[in-house]
């Protein structure tokens, strides 16, 4: 019996391209909010969530099939991707009053 495996795991190159609608949505958000930064979050079978934070503090999100497609879409849209939720980026976010009310209703309903 062999001590180790003779196979190596390798990432297979993907041929998927970012959908034009996704790229257009990211570009539109960035243009409407004075530029933007993105954080990509893996959300399991659903794919990847692209959280966009505008320079004015407004934030929104888009969904992609996977993290590779999400990164490609951000690159095509000219939006830089942050590796994690840095304090400066979180301090820049300004949730709207409607969002605060929405979050309060969810907490109260539990």
Instruction: Output the DSSP codes for 86-101.
Output: -HHHHHH----HHHHH
| CA nearest to 19, candidates 58, 47, 59 | 47
Kindly indicate the confidence band of residue 16, based on its pLDDT and cuts at 50, 70 and 90: low
Of 75 and 55, more confident? 75
CA-CA distance, 38 to 30, in Å (whole number)? Answer: 10
Q: 44: which DSSP letter?
A: G
Q: Which stretch of DSSP H or E encloses residue 77?
A: helix 67-77
Where are the strands (E) in the chain, listed by range? 36-42, 48-54, 59-64, 80-82
CA-CA distance, 96 to 79, in Å (whole number)? Answer: 22
Residues 16 and 67: beta-carbon distance below 8 Å: no
Residues counted in the chain: 110
Segment of 8-12, 80-84, 96-100, 105-109 carrying the highest mean pLDDT = 80-84
Q: Using alpha carbons only, how large is the chain's radius of gyration in Å?
A: 18
pLDDT of residue 10: 41
Query: pLDDT for 62-72, tens place per residue?
Result: 999 999 999 99
Checking if the pLDDT of 81 tops 60, the result is yes
Checking if the pLDDT of 77 tops 70, the result is yes
């Amino acid at each position: 019996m062999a001590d180790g495996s003779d196979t190596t795991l390798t990432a297979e190159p993907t041929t998927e391209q970012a959908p034009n609608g996704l790229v257009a949505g990211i570009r539109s958000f960035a243009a409407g909010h004075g530029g933007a930064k993105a954080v990509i979050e893996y959300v399991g079978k659903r794919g990847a969530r692209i959280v966009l934070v505008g320079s004015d503090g407004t934030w929104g999100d888009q969904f992609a099939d996977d993290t590779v497609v999400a990164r490609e879409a951000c690159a095509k849209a000219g939006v830089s991707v942050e590796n994690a939720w840095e304090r400066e980026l979180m301090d820049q976010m300004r949730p709207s009053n409607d969002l605060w009310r929405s979050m309060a209703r969810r907490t109260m309903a539990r």
